[in-house]
Amino acid sequence: MYLAGLLADGGKMSEFELQKRVENATCYMIYEFSVPWVASENFRGFEIALRWVKSDVEKIAASGWVTLSCLISIRADEEINHALILKLLNRIGKEIHQTPNRVRHTMNNFIISVGGYMRDLTKEAKLSASKIGVVYVDMGETACKVPDAISYIDKTIARGPLKKKKTAKC
């Protein structure tokens, strides 16, 4: 499934095909990486992601937040509805600590993406992160940690302006 995501052309896929991919994803490596990479290539990527973030199914909601992060990293700022992004930051501030584990993780990463890729919204992203505070995610038996959004954004900015990527796939 991961390799299929690397090879797939999301721009040629239907919403039905993308929906089936997210529903059939078997682990977070698929629904937080492979599926969002492909969905972000679709011309309806924002609409699909916004529908997914409303889902009560953890993997679908998580995939939606990552798809939004991918879109922020590859689309020109002029193509992104800034008012919508501010609304999403506000939503995260109200909901993050009550959402399922992987959704909390992807919401936190969304804040980091906004702060790093959308310079005119960096201040708002950091403000949102400061209101939220520490985000706890059970990462299992691993050394992985949830990044502190404010310090991560600050480190990103200190390295110089982030350039938009050609693709979310890596």
CA pair distance 127, 114, nearest whole angstrom: 12
- Give me the pLDDT at residue 144, please: 86
Is the pLDDT confidence value at 35 over 90? yes
Domain extents in the chain:
2-158
Contacts of 81 (CB under 8 A, 6+ apart): 46
Q: Report whether pLDDT(161) > 80.
A: no
What is the distance between the alpha carbons of residues 55 and 52, in angstroms, rounded to a whole number? 5
Query: Which residues contact residue 86 at a Cβ distance below 8 angstroms, ignoring those fewer than 6 apart?
Result: 121, 124
Sign of CA dihedral 63, 52, 37, 119: negative
> Do 127 and 149 meet the contact criterion of CB atoms below 8 Å apart?
no
Tell me the fold of 2-158: Leucine-rich Repeat Variant (1.25.10)
Q: At what angle do helices 45-53 and 15-24 cross, to 10 degrees?
A: 40
Q: Residue 162's pLDDT is what?
A: 82
pTM confidence score: 0.96
- Other CB atoms closer than 10 Å to residue 96's CB: what's the count? 20
Q: Provide the token pair at 5.
A: 């995501």
pLDDT in tens, 91-117: 999 999 999 999 999 999 999 999 999
